[in-house]
A and B are shown apart, each in its own frame.
Chain A
Amino acid sequence: MAAAGAFGVTPHKVSVCVLLQMYAPPAQAEPLFSVSQHNHLGLYLLAITKSHGDFLEPKLADLLTQLKDISGSLGDWLIEHLTNRLSSLSSPDDLAVLFSEFRGTLGGTESAVIEDNQVVLDPNSYLGMFVRRCVLAFNLLSFEGVCHLLTNIGNYCKEALSSCLPYELHGLDDSVNDLETSSAYENMDLENFVFQKVTEEIVANKQASQRNSFHLHTSKALSGLVEDVEIVAGSLYNHAGNSGETCSSSDTIASGTRGADTSGNMFLRTTSQLQGFFMEQADAIEKHGCSFPLNGFEVILNRIKNLAPELHRVHFLHYLTCLYHDDYFGALENLQRFFDYSVGIGGFDITPVPSQSKGFERYETGLLCLGMLQFHFGHPKQALEVLTEAVRVSQQQSNDSCLAYTLATICTLSSEMGSSSTSGLLGTSYSHTATIGTSLYFKQQLFVLLREALKRAESLSLKRLIASNHLAMAKFDLMNVQRPLLSFGPKASIKLRTCPITVCKELRSCLHLVSEYASESPTMTIEGAFSTAWLNNLRSPMGASVLSLDNGVVESSNAFQFCAQPSSIPRSVLQLVGSSYLVRATAWEIYGSATLARVNSFVFATCYLDASSSSDAALVHAKLIQHLATFQGYKDAFSALKVAEEKFLSISRPVILLLKLQLLHERALHRGNLKLALQLCNELGVLASPFNGVDNQLKIEASMRHARTLLAAKQYRQASEVAQSLFCLCYQFNMQVENASVLLLLAEIHKKSGNAVLGLPYALASLSFCQSFNLDLLEASAKVTLAELWLSLGTNHAKRALTLLHGAFPMVLGHGGLELRARARLIEAQCYLCDPSYSVVEDSEIVLDALKQASDEFEVLEYPRNGSGSFLLDGSGLRQAGTGGGKRRSFSFIQETHTGS
């Protein structure tokens, strides 16, 4: 077994050694290089032994072109020397001589004199080690092994040379050559075939995503709706947009399939390089999600499997691709295969990687992965079962870090899945259903669990885990009122409010992670990545920058990677920090600071976009566009949406699609196109999974919109029914933030139906929810609704309404969206007009100002009905003013209104 993963001598390694020999020539040879050339060559050799851009060793032809690139004029000399050296090997003994020469390049520790200008490889340097390992591996070879090496070197040279000088070779050996060329034909076919397959797949992906963009029946109508907003952008982006996303992944695929040989001339790189390759691919899979070409990558994986059946990580990558392509059975199968194999060997890959601890692939880790898999596919029950088993097993094996990770996963799972679906499993009792007692109990348990997980992570100093636990904690604090666990006794003062300060604290402690990593020395894999990037850069130094100009943010970050020093912070850390910014943005959204939310989204979008997964990136785009819609109207939002859609054409459709539906629905409501609105919110509902307890957010969103549509259609009874059932749902899953807005909606419904008295308690309840969860913006809008309710109770309440309204004004004007502001203004004007103590004649400007602003804002929102309402009010206000000029103005307003609506 020892040999399998070990360092075997291959033709490529021999040629690297030959180059090294030239780099550090024996004493008598005169130096041929300038210093810079020499350094360049050294750097190149270092890079080539470390890079993991591909899993196969490069062919001689590739090596030669690279040599030409790096050393310019000297390249030819190097190439000639190398090819001469390699092709002069004709008997096994030549090889033996060659390897003993290699040993000469190493400076012995005690070897006597080193001349001044002589370059000697330090035997303990990286390159020195490389040579030593090669020599050792050669010495261990049996005679058959040496023969194999010789034939392999022969083939290696022949391939390269036949591409340069095909005619000479034809003359040499007819019978053999026939076979050679014919097999070359074969290879070419296969290669083309694979390429074709990959490109086909990419095309298919594109088409699928275009088709998928609206898998629903109204597709044309919908896209038409958007089209009429922004037609220009469409055609431009249709072709250019997607290339940026897929090109990098298809690049690797292409390089992977390049050497598709059928003969035995394929050699895998060293295991550390391969592991680097695997990690890189895993990152790419995660980043690109389902746009990662599946079949093409599988071809590669199968070939690696054939070449090195003992590298079980292949199965893991297979699992990842299946996971992101929603292939449940494939993922399960490969995950189990991976753990069966990697454990059977004794707990680790036979070729331990320095960056990995040995006993990592253990059974409990397998369970953990399985749990995450089930979670990913939306089977919370199974996931919890598996994770509980993982907890048990890792306790038995006293694998603390795995336990910590498992706990963290359980936390995420249970916070995302809502209480009623998981409470039975988390607790010990099966009997309780979702009563308030259990759901509170559940929350408490979750809190304890979170604490426990955090503590464990801290004691094990698993930095990333600590950070992600802080993040989870922040999320929990954001959405839940913290109650003291023991709430009796005189000192237990119960203040039922969420605590924004703790949220901030948690988020900040998540950020500490970066500083910890910044001070660490770069790890092995990072170095390899740098070498890979450097080699790629070598090939196309200009291409990268050109690309970056074309494709905007994503590519420019790549260019950053190419040109600048590699940052020492691993991608996963960046990703984590990035998502902390996302949480921040969400937090500010909830707390009602629009500007801060936007700033945090921008920070994420500018700094962490390239490190983040595509779904996070899509999410931040959605946030920003939503922001645009509420503050600057639909026109801008839709044109931004267009851009985002092109960018995330194939990946994370749901996020963008959801956003699109939301925006369209909103606009349809405003325009009074109720039929369309209803259709749109039905489509939203279809996006959610049919299972109870899964996709709750989406379901709530859909029925909320449904209720609003019904409200706009003046079907108050149905609307309130929908809202009531929605309230039940939120109550069942203990989603209190949502509760607040549902209550507000109910108040709204009652208000519209003319039942202001019934509406009041709802509004007040909503207000108190908002207060306890610090939902400032929502609170402001609840106040506005409350003011309206008061107002509709009679003119004698106008004063009270006005005070309320003025209390909410700072928040509304500071952070509220267009609609809220306009509404507040309108109501303010109404209040003034109703107030008996107020006379229009004296102070008409207040009302007129308010009305003017309201109408402006409504206009941006394309709001014909409310707009006309404000105009009418405007007019009536002026008429009351009674002045002659005012009358004229009021007449013109009313005319405008009629033509407008």
Chain B
Amino acid sequence: MSSKENCRNELRTAIRQLSDRCLHPAAKWAAEQLVGIEQDPAKFTPANTRFQRGSSSIRRRFRTNEIASATPLTPIAGVSYVSTPVMEEDEAVDNDFYLLGKTYFDCREYRRAAHTLRDQTAKKSVFLRNYALFLAGEKRKEEESIELTGLGNSEPTNCELVTIEIELSTLRKNGTIDPFGLYLYGIVLKEKGNQNLARMVLVESVNCYPWNWSAWSELQALCSTPEILSSLSLSNHWMKDFFLASAYQELKMHNESLAKYEYLQGTFSFSNYVQAQIAQVQYSLREFEQVEVIFEELLRNDPYRVEDMDMYSNVLYAKECFSALSYLAHRVFMTDKYRPESCCIIANYYSLKGQHEKAVTYFKRALKLNKNYLTAWTLMGHEYVEMKNTPAAVDAYRRAVDINPRDYRAWYGLGQAYEVMGMPFYALHYFKKSVFLQSNDARLWIAMAQCYETDQLQMLEEAIKCYKRAASCGDKEAIALQQLAKLHRELGRFEEAAFYYKKDLERMEAEEREAQNMVEALSFLAEHCREMKRYEEAEVYCARLMDYGGPEKETAKNILRGIRGDTSLPSMDVDHFRP
């Protein structure tokens, strides 16, 4: 990394330039990262740093030490970053029309802004005009999508795309286009479905001007496979690390992504963005504890944050923290109730309370606000399953899958829905899809195995294979081992059954769980050992079985008696014939 000071300077300039072009989301992102760079402790008083970050000084100290030892200032594997010169503005003093246009733009009067800037030739004005036009089109498109619900069926399109594309493509041919123009051109191409060119243009844009995070995220949305990602020719800038981290995460390369983010944290150690992303990765890795810690800290530093909070609510949901979830819901509700995330959090709360109808209402509201909101579709599917409305659930899941075919939860949900309807063979296909996407999730394997095990299919061999996979994936609820033992026993393979019962037993002992399974395992093992003439072992199991009351005790006694009979067979004979 060039150095913190360099980053800081670059970002400061970038924020100004981005705001000049009204690229507010990108400017916001850049500013967040700017503040996220750790202050040099030598230059600032502790009070200053404490002001910057409230608590967790222990954690921070710990982290800085760690990073210092890892020599953060050289990039990974000796890659040297290119230093992209900060772009010079073409005119020092802004044109009056530009100023007027920008104010209109800031007041969200896009068409007016575009009209004001109509004859301007300065690059900044040209970009702003086109951008205003684009946003005007987007706004109109959204309005139309509401208006048109009663009319024709067609999905409205942004009607300005053609005009903008023509202008920008001529500019690009002339070579007078700036990186921002390229960014806009990329979006337009993407909207029009020309993905390859869009990718090319966006790469050009970020190579010229790497600080525009919006361009990076558009580019990331176009990288649907690792192959595409690796085929991009990007110059090495520290912004590329952010990009790669997020792209890896989207492509489910969680560990690579985590490594990148942790590396970035070396410089941007106070960046909320990086933290939230780490939380996201941890969530995908199902490390809920860590996610919770991160989010608690995030909320302390940034109490009005709504982004990513839906994930936090999912964690709270999984951990069944009623009050924490309701607190969170209340908080986001007060901050901004018309955000899809807020609706989703509230829905989660209702779902946790078992009020599924209300949950569905809020999910629906979230989907009205953003109809491509993947999580909401999937979760709504779950709600419908709870409400036993399987057809609606199938529909919701299918929509999720069509939005993102890599969403394994929705595939899983589809499988479940069909299984509920008594179509296990049909369901299998969906389960297969889901395990294909997330092959290290024991729950999915177990679901599939149970599907194979159903009365209708009775494909026990396949079920065994699935349970084996589940067991090797670290099945937390320990269903797999137990089922494996049971199935092997049913199939008459007692050696294997004994093996798995033993494993299960060990596991139960390690976790100190007492259950009916324990009894079952013990009595099987005792019986089995006796049959295999391993009497000592059998006696040990019997002895343990004796601790349980009821019928088990009797069985144990019987077995023991049998063992004695077997072992002292000759003497018994003598006894028998004595009279």
Contacts and interface: CB of A to CB of B under 8 A. Distances in A.
Interface of A: 3-5, 8-10, 140-142, 144-145, 148-149, 179, 182-183, 186, 262-264, 266-268, 306-310, 332, 336-337, 340-341, 343-347, 363, 366-367, 370, 385-386, 389, 392-393, 396
B162 A262 contact: yes
Contact of A341 (B153, B395, B421): B395
A516 to B, nearest CB: 35
A427 B300 CA distance: 67
Given A179-B162, A389-B424, A393-B423, A347 B429 contact: no
B52 interface: no
B148 interface: yes
A264 B159 contact: yes
A337 B402 contact: yes
Contacts of B397: 340
B150 A142 contact: yes
A481 B483 CA distance: 48
Given A340-B414, A345-B395, A347-B391, A8 B151 contact: yes
B394 interface: yes
B-side interface mostly: helix
B149 interface: yes
Given A141-B151, A267-B152, A310-B153, A344 B166 contact: no
Given A3-B149, A307-B155, A343 B394 contact: yes
Interface in B413-435: 414, 418, 421-426, 429-430
B153 A307 contact: yes
28 contacts: A10-B152, A142-B147, A144-B147, A145-B151, A148-B151, A179-B162, A179-B163, A262-B157, A264-B157, A264-B159, A268-B154, A306-B154, A306-B155, A340-B395, A341-B395, A341-B398, A343-B391, A344-B392, A344-B395, A344-B398, A346-B391, A386-B426, A389-B424, A389-B425, A392-B422, A393-B421, A393-B422, A396-B422
A183 to B, nearest CB: 5
Given A145-B151, A182-B162, A343-B391, A389 B423 contact: yes
B156 interface: yes
Contacts of B396: 344
Contacts of B402: 337
A346 B391 CA distance: 7
Contacts of B153: 4-5, 8, 268, 307-310
B151 to A, nearest CB: 5
Contacts of B159: 263-264
A446 to B, nearest CB: 22
Contact of B154 (A142, A307, A346, A393): A307
Nearest to B163: A179
Interface of B: 144, 147-157, 159, 162-163, 166, 391-398, 402, 414, 418, 421-426, 429-430, 456-457
A547 to B, nearest CB: 36
A343 B391 CA distance: 6
Greatest chain B CB density within 10 A among A343, A346, A366 is at A343
B130 to A, nearest CB: 14
Contacts of B151: 3, 8-9, 141, 145, 148-149
A145 B395 contact: no
B454 to A, nearest CB: 10
Contacts of A183: 162
A396 B430 CA distance: 22
A579 B352 CA distance: 60
A367 B426 contact: yes
Contacts of B421: 363, 393
Contacts of A340: 394-395, 397-398, 414
Contact of A332 (B414, B429, B457): B429
A9 B151 CA distance: 7
Nearest to A389: B425
Greatest chain A CB density within 10 A among B147, B153, B422 is at B153
Nearest to A145: B151
Given A4-B153, A182-B162, A262-B162, A145 B422 contact: no
Greatest chain A CB density within 10 A among B423, B429, B456 is at B423
Contacts of A363: 418, 421, 423, 426
B155 A336 contact: no
Nearest to A147: B147
A364 to B, nearest CB: 9
Nearest to A302: B193
Greatest chain A CB density within 10 A among B150, B392, B414, B429 is at B150
Nearest to B414: A340
Contacts of A3: 149-151
Nearest to A387: B425
A363 B396 CA distance: 16
A387 B272 CA distance: 54
Contacts of B157: 262, 264
B473 to A, nearest CB: 26
Given A263-B159, A344-B398, A392 B166 contact: no
A194 B153 CA distance: 23
Contacts of A336: 429-430
A9 B153 CA distance: 11
A369 to B, nearest CB: 11
A144 B143 CA distance: 10
Given A8-B153, A343-B394, A344-B398, A367 B148 contact: no
A633 to B, nearest CB: 53
Contacts of A308: 153-154
Contact of B148 (A9, A140, A148, A332): A148
Nearest to B165: A186
A309 B147 contact: no
Contacts of B150: 3, 140-142, 145
Nearest to A340: B398
B399 to A, nearest CB: 9
Contact of A145 (B147, B166, B392): B147
B309 to A, nearest CB: 29
B407 to A, nearest CB: 14
A425 to B, nearest CB: 12
Given A347-B391, A367-B423, A389-B423, A264 B154 contact: yes
Contacts of B144: 148
B192 to A, nearest CB: 8
Contacts of B425: 367, 385-386, 389
Contacts of A182: 162-163, 166
Contacts of B163: 179, 182
Contacts of A345: 391, 395
A144 B391 CA distance: 34
A122 B152 CA distance: 27
Contacts of B147: 142, 144-145, 148
A140 B151 CA distance: 10
A386 B162 CA distance: 49
Given A3-B149, A268-B152, 5 more contacts: A267-B154, A343-B395, A385-B457, A386-B426, A389-B426
